[in-house]
């Protein structure tokens, strides 16, 4: 898979994904989960005010940052071609299917570990927050388009870099691709304007933080992350 797709194709696929998926998620949630919209009375005015006069910057950041993710995925192909990567191809087989879910969860944990510590540092150190992370929090009521509204270095360290070095894990290419898609879906939904994880699974939280945040959750929804608890 990696050897077939050229770097520029990963770049184009990333741009297409991050242009299409935010729109699809917003449309789907608005159609089926409109009752979960967070603070609808205030969000339109506040969001428009936060983005006033900044559309060129927002569009530019969206293209730059989604391009960075595409290039980091393309770096997987280079590492694999150099013999550094440990992904394996071919049929998934019975063993591969049995390991599929655990390996996807492993990749998500790896991603989230790097994201957590970089994100925590960006909030803990005032200089990092001012230089790299403050603009990401300008929108008090974010939506899926807000996910890419970051300083490129901030996005590279929190989100894109793990997508490059995850190729070092000894997993199947299909598992690798599924984990990448799921990680980016979780990232987009985590910035959405809908609190959908009372109904849909998000990122697993071992301490049931989601349940303490919203006592009306039940079943799997009590174990997952939410827009309010991201």
pLDDT digits (tens, 9 = 90+) for 37-85: 877 767 666 666 667 777 888 899 999 999 999 999 999 989 988 889 8
- In which domain, by residue range, is 213 found? 195-230
Q: Do 143 and 192 contact (CB within 8 A), yes or no?
A: yes
Residues 82 and 122 in one domain: yes
| Domain assignment of residue 170, yes or no | yes
CA distance 21 to 147: 11
**Count of domains in the chain?**
2
Residues 80-92 have pLDDT tens digits of 888 898 998 888 8
DSSP codes of every residue in 37-61: BSSHHHHHHHHHHHHTT-HHHHHHH
pTM of the full structure: 0.84
Q: Answer yes or no: is 108 within a domain.
A: yes
Query: Dihedral sign, CA of 169, 173, 179, 180?
Result: positive
Same domain, 64 and 171: yes
190 and 200 both lie in a single domain:
no
């Amino acid at each position: 898979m990696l050897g077939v797709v050229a770097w520029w194709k990963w770049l184009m696929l990333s741009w297409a994904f991050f242009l299409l998926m935010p729109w699809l998620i917003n449309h789907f949630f608005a159609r089926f989960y409109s009752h979960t919209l967070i603070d609808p009375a205030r969000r339109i005015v506040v969001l428009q005010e936060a983005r006033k006069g900044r559309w060129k910057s927002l569009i530019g950041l969206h293209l730059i940052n989604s391009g960075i993710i595409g290039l980091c995925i393309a770096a997987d192909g280079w590492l694999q071609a150099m013999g550094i990567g440990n992904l394996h191809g071919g049929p998934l087989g019975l063993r591969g299917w049995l390991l599929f879910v655990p390996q996807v969860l492993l990749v998500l944990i790896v991603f989230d570990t790097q994201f957590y510590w970089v994100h925590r540092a960006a909030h803990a150190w005032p200089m990092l927050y001012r230089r790299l992370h403050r603009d990401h929090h300008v929108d008090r009521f974010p939506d899926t388009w807000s996910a890419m509204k970051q300083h490129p270095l901030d996005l590279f360290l929190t989100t894109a870099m793990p997508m490059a070095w995850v190729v070092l894990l000894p997993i199947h290419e299909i598992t690798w691709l599924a984990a990448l898609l799921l990680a980016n879906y979780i990232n987009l939904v985590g910035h959405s304007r809908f609190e959908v994880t009372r109904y849909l699974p998000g990122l697993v939280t071992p301490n049931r933080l989601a349940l303490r945040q919203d006592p009306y959750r039940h079943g799997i929804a009590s174990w997952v992350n939410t827009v309010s608890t991201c």
